[in-house]
Structure 1
């Protein structure tokens, strides 16, 4: 995972095992460490779609976006 910052935005990109990078989401700083807006990357439009309905933590947003883009990751026993 790579996070780059630009202004009030944090862009989250995942790195695949072959080295390719996949945009996952964008977070928008909302004035405190506990307030972030979430936007999911949509490959078909090559843009980020704001998720005004999502009200979870940044960790929950990351888990949700990974489930959408990659699928549920199950740890190996």
Structure 2
């Protein structure tokens, strides 16, 4: 499986940020780090803490 493209990373970051604003008011930001075909997503809480949220596997397209 190919590594995550730059455009897919940008798309994911934008979608996560928008979703967090609408559904997770307790989060200040959402941050994704990338390794190979995976994106590891964590939320930053208002008190400064970090909350691991999910690991996503790249399926070859930003929408899948």
TM-score, normalising length: structure 1: 0.43
Select 1:7's aligned residue among 17, 20, 36.
36
| Runs (5+) with no aligned partner, structure 1 | 36-77
Report Cα offsets for 1:24-72 as digits up to 9, x if no partner. Answer: 011100011221xxxxxxxxxxxxxxxxxxxxxxxxxxxxxxxxxxxxx
Per the alignment, in what secondary structure is the counterpart of residue 31 of structure 1? coil
- Equivalences, count: 35
Greater fraction strand: 1
Q: Please report the RMSD computed on the Cα atoms of aligned residues, expressed in angstroms.
A: 0.7
Could you list the structure 1 runs, at least 4 aligned residues long, displaced by more than 2 angstroms after superposition. none
Higher relative contact order (CA 8 A, sep 6+): 2
TM-score, normalising length: structure 2: 0.51
